[in-house]
Amino acid sequence: MLRRILLGSALILLASRPALAEDGSELWLRYRKTSDPARLAEYRATIQSLVMHGESPTLTVAREEILRGLRGILDREVTIDTEPTRDGFVIVGTASNLIPSINVARELGKVGKEGYVIRSITVGGRKGTVITANTDVGVLYGVFAFLRELQTSKPIRKLAIASGPAIQIRMLDHWDNLDRSVERGYAGKALWEWSKLPDTLSPRYKDYARANASIGINGASITNVNANAKFLTPEYLAKSAAIANVLRPYGIRVYLTARFSAPIEIGGLKTADPLDPAVRKWWADKTDEVYRFIPDFGGYVVKANSEGQPGPQDYKRTHADGANMFADALAPHGGVVMWRAFVYSQDVPTDRVKQAYDEFKPLDGQFRDNVMVQVKNGPLDFQPREPFSPLFGAMPKTPLMMEFQITKEYLGQDTHLAYLGALFEEVLRADTYAKGKGSTVAKVIDGSLHSYKRTGIAGVANVGSDVNWTGSQFNQSNWYAFGRLAWNPREASRDIADDWVRETFTNDQAAVARIREMMIRSREAVVNYMTPLGLAHIMATGHHYGPAPWVKLSRPDWSPTYYHRADSIGIGFDRTATGSNAVAQYFPAVRDRYANRKTVPDSVLLWFHHVGWGEKLSSGRTLWDELVWRYNAGVTSVHDMQRTWTNVQDNVDPERFKEVQSFLAIQEKEARWWRDAALTYFQTFSHRPIPAAFEQPAHPLAYYQQLRCPADRNKPRCEAIP
Which residues are the active-site residues? Answer: 307, 381, 409
What gap in Å lies between CA 368 and CA 350, rounded to an integer?
29
Residue span binding ligand GCW (CB under 6 A) among the ranges 301-309, 524-532, 605-613, 684-692: 301-309
Q: Which is nearer to ligand GCW, 226 or 661 (CB)?
A: 226
Say how many residues touch ligand GCW, by CB under 6 A. 12
- Least CB distance from residue 542 to ligand GCW, whole Å? 9
In this chain, which of 303, 317, 352, 502 binds ligand GCW, going by CB under 6 A? 303
Residue 225 binds ligand GCW (CB under 6 A): yes
Instruction: Kindly tell me which of 185 and 274 has the beta carbon lying closer to ligand GCW.
Output: 185
Please check whether residue 135 is in contact with residue 97, taking contact to mean a CB–CB distance below 8 angstroms: no
DSSP sequence for 506-557:
---HHHHHHHHHHHHHHHHHHHHHHSGGG----BPTTT--SB-TT---SSGG
Strand 456-460 relative to strand 219-221, pairing: unpaired
Q: Which is nearer to ligand GCW, 375 or 690 (CB)?
A: 375
Answer for which of 136, 176, 359, 409 binds ligand GCW (CB under 6 A) is 409
User: What's the min distance (Å) between Cβ of 224 and ligand GCW?
Assistant: 6
- Residues 617/570, Cβ–Cβ less than 8 Å: no
* 328 is a site residue for ligand GCW (CB under 6 A): no
Q: How far is the CB of 307 from ligand GCW (least distance, A)?
A: 6
By CB under 6 A, residue 329 contacts ligand GCW: no
Measured distance CA(358)–CA(704) in Å, rounded: 38
Please tell me the distance from the alpha carbon of residue 302 to that of residue 553, in angstroms, as a whole number. Answer: 28
Count, in order, helices (H) and strands (E) of the chain: 22, 16
Residue among 145 and 375 whose Cβ is closer to ligand GCW: 375
How many CA atoms within 13 Å lie on the side-chain side of 510? Answer: 7
**Is residue 175 a contact residue for ligand GCW (CB under 6 A)?**
yes
Q: Are strands 219-221 and 169-173 parallel, antiparallel or unpaired?
A: parallel
Q: Would you say 599 and 592 are in contact if contact means Cβ atoms under 8 Å apart?
A: yes
Q: Would you count residue 382 as binding ligand GCW (CB under 6 A)?
A: yes
Minimum CB separation of residue 308 from ligand GCW in Å reads 10
Does 360 engage in binding with ligand GCW (CB under 6 A)?
no
342 part of the interface to ligand GCW, by CB under 6 A: yes
- Cβ atoms of 533 and 377 closer than 8 Å: no
Q: Which of residues 152 and 226 has its CB atom nearest to ligand GCW in the complex? A: 226
φ/ψ (deg, to 5) at 395:
-130, 75
Contacting residue, 136, 321, 359, 381, with ligand GCW by CB under 6 A: 381
DSSP state of 92: E
What minimum distance in Å lies between the beta carbon of 409 and ligand GCW? 6
H-state helical runs in 310-417: 319-330, 355-360
Contact 214, 251 (CB under 8 A): no
Quick count: other Cβ atoms within 10 Å of Cβ 334? 12
H/E stretch holding 425 reads helix 421-429
Buried b (16+ CB within 10 A) or exposed e, 386-425: bbbbbbbbbbbebbbbbbbbbbbbbbbbbbbbbbbbbbbb
Please tell me whether residue 627 binds ligand GCW under the rule CB under 6 A: no
CA R_g for the chain: 27
The nearest distance, CB 357 to ligand GCW, in angstroms, is 16
Stretch that binds ligand GCW, among 158-166, 303-311, 476-484, 582-590 (CB under 6 A): 303-311
Shortest Å distance, C-beta 544 to ligand GCW: 7
Q: How many of the other CB atoms lie within 10 Å of CB of 28?
A: 23
| Site residues (CB under 6 A) for ligand GCW, limited to 121-160 | none
Exactly one of 170, 184, 523, 672 binds ligand GCW (CB under 6 A); that residue is 184
Closest residue to ligand GCW, based on beta-carbon distance:
381
Q: Is 685 helix (H, G, I), strand (E, B) or coil?
A: helix
Toward ligand GCW, which CB reaches closer, 86 or 230?
Answer: 230
* Contact call for residue 431 and ligand GCW (CB under 6 A): no
Question: Taking CB under 6 A as the rule, does residue 176 contact ligand GCW?
Answer: no
663 binds ligand GCW (CB under 6 A): no
Nearer residue to ligand GCW within complex by CB, 344 or 674: 344
SS3 category, 51: strand
The region of 159-167, 302-310, 312-320, 665-673 touching ligand GCW under the rule CB under 6 A is 302-310
* Nearer to ligand GCW among residue 226 and residue 465 (C-beta): 226
Closer residue to ligand GCW (CB): 414 or 625: 414
Considering only residues 81, 149, 183, 491, which one is a binding residue for ligand GCW as defined by CB under 6 A? 183
Nearest CA to 356 among 298, 403, 422? 403
Residue 408 binds ligand GCW, judged by CB under 6 A: no
Residue 87 as a binder of ligand GCW (CB under 6 A): the answer is no
Mask: binding to ligand GCW, 568-597, rule CB under 6 A, as x and -?
A: ------------------------------
Which residues, including other chains, have CB under 8 Å from residue 455's CB and lie 6 or more apart? 166, 167, 168, 169, 399, 401, 445, 446, 447
CB of 397: closest distance to ligand GCW in angstroms? 24
Q: Cα–Cα distance between 190 and 240 in angstroms, integer?
A: 14
Shortest Å distance, C-beta 691 to ligand GCW: 35
Nearer to ligand GCW, 544 or 564 (CB): 544
Question: Applying CB under 6 A, which residues contact ligand GCW?
Answer: 175, 183-184, 225-226, 303, 306-307, 342, 381-382, 409
